């Protein structure tokens, strides 16, 4: 019998996790993705058309796409580097066009799933686009996911997330979470990607009450302006605060990084997350990092991580929990 595995998040972190999970035969996958993204190509199209932001949905679709449709997957991931459409991603444009034609974000994702022969479901956390707001310890307010996501070393800590507009988790996302056997959070920007989804009304209640095992994948590095000085324990505490429950299982990287990687992150005032979790059977320590450095693509306005988790190693750890 297949196990329902749900990821909640967005960005490249969720992409990496889903890319590995689709290889697990026993998994029935659902990716709950953000409706709050407003940066890069996604933000420009959202402003122009008023549809749900498609960036996280597009990445999840590509991650879950049939490996045999390699050209189609590459097409959906293609980013233009020249002219008026520089910075735009083909998949974002395609999903925007489908939404405009079909009159529904959900129908657009459904049709794109058929084209890509997706293994699983991609579900926006809310039926309506929202604006993420972060309240800082200093009393300052940051408005917009792209503002929160901006690297700002030494910025006052984030103490609360909310949405500018009234928000509610969509029924499909709520049902997927409530029926999950495993719920996976992270990796990804702690506040702008992972915990942003908990600013949507009803998500915390759904996760807190779900009988599914809650798994948190700790980030490899801190993020300037979001998690400056955060240890692994602090990451986990914040996840528990927003999710309404402590993670049942924690995956954390064990091992060193190449000097080149450390130097490039240090230049951005970002550093390896210190493991201060102590001992426990619920903590899985392995060499989870991918040694291949991921460079920024031409035309991409959004800064990406240089090193990521290894999707196969993540999938192996999750499969052992099934």
Average pLDDT rounded to a whole number, residues 284-306: 67
* 40, pLDDT greater than 80: no
What's the pTM?
A: 0.92
Q: Do 314 and 16 meet the contact criterion of CB atoms below 8 Å apart?
A: yes
Asked which of 49-63, 289-303, 308-322 is least confident by mean pLDDT, the reply is 289-303
How would residue 47 be classed by pLDDT, with cut points 50, 70 and 90? low
Could you tell me how far CA 232 lies from the centroid of its own chain? 18
pLDDT at 181: 98
**DSSP state letters, 295-306:** PPPTT--S---S
Residues in the chain: 322
Write down all domains in the chain, each with its CATH number in brackets: 3-319 (3.40.50.10680)
292's tokens: 């291949």
244's tokens: 């309404």
The secondary structure element, H or E, covering residue 92 is helix 90-102
* 60, pLDDT greater than 50: yes
Per residue in 170-214, pLDDT (tens digit) is 999 999 999 999 999 999 999 999 999 999 999 999 999 999 999
Per residue in 160-179, pLDDT (tens digit) is 999 999 999 999 999 999 99
User: Residue with structure tokens 């899985």?
Assistant: 284
pLDDT at 73: 85
Of residues 145 and 44, the one with the higher pLDDT is 145
Q: How far apart are CA 59 and CA 36, in angstroms?
A: 15
Give the residue among 174, 171, 196 at the shortest CA–CA distance from 183. Answer: 174
Give the residue among 25, 82, 32, 41 at the shortest CA–CA distance from 207. Answer: 32
User: Residue with structure tokens 């999970």?
Assistant: 21
Q: How far apart are CA 43 and CA 52, in angstroms?
A: 10
* 293, pLDDT greater than 80: no
Per-range mean pLDDT, top range of 43-47, 52-56, 92-96 = 92-96
* 302, pLDDT greater than 50: no
Q: How far apart are CA 262 and CA 255, in angstroms?
A: 13
pLDDT at 53: 79
How would residue 300 be classed by pLDDT, with cut points 50, 70 and 90? very low
52's tokens: 């749900």
């Amino acid at each position: 019998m297949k196990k329902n595995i749900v990821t909640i998040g967005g960005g490249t972190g969720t992409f990496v996790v889903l890319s590995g999970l689709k290889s697990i035969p026993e998994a029935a996958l659902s990716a709950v993705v953000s409706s709050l993204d407003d940066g890069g190509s996604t933000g420009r199209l959202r402003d122009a058309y008023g549809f749900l932001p498609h960036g996280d949905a597009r990445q999840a679709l590509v991650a879950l796409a049939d490996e045999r449709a390699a050209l189609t997957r590459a097409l959906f991931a293609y980013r233009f580097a020249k002219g008026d459409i520089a910075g735009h991603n083909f998949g974002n444009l395609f999903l925007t066009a489908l939404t405009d034609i079909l009159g529904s974000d959900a129908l657009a994702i459904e049709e794109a799933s058929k084209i890509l022969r997706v293994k699983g479901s991609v579900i926006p956390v809310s039926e309506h686009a929202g604006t993420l707001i972060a309240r800082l310890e200093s009393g300052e307010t940051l408005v917009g996911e792209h503002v929160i996501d901006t690297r700002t070393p030494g910025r006052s800590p984030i103490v609360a997330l909310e949405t500018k507009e009234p928000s509610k988790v969509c029924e499909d996302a709520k049902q997927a979470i409530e029926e999950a056997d495993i719920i996976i959070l992270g990796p990804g920007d702690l506040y702008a990607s992972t915990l942003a989804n908990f600013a949507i009304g009803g998500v915390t209640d759904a996760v807190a009450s779900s009988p599914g095992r809650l798994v948190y994948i700790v980030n490899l590095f801190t993020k300037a302006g979001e998690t400056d000085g955060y240890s692994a324990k602090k990451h986990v505490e914040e996840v528990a605060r927003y999710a309404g429950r402590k993670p049942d299982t924690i995956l954390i990287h064990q091992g060193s990084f190449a000097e080149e990687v450390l130097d490039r992150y240090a230049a951005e005032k970002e550093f390896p997350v210190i493991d201060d979790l102590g001992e426990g059977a619920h903590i899985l320590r392995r060499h989870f990092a991918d040694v291949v450095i991921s460079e920024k693509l031409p035309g991409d306005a959004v800064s990406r991580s240089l090193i990521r988790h290894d999707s196969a190693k993540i999938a192996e750890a999750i499969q052992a929990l099934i």
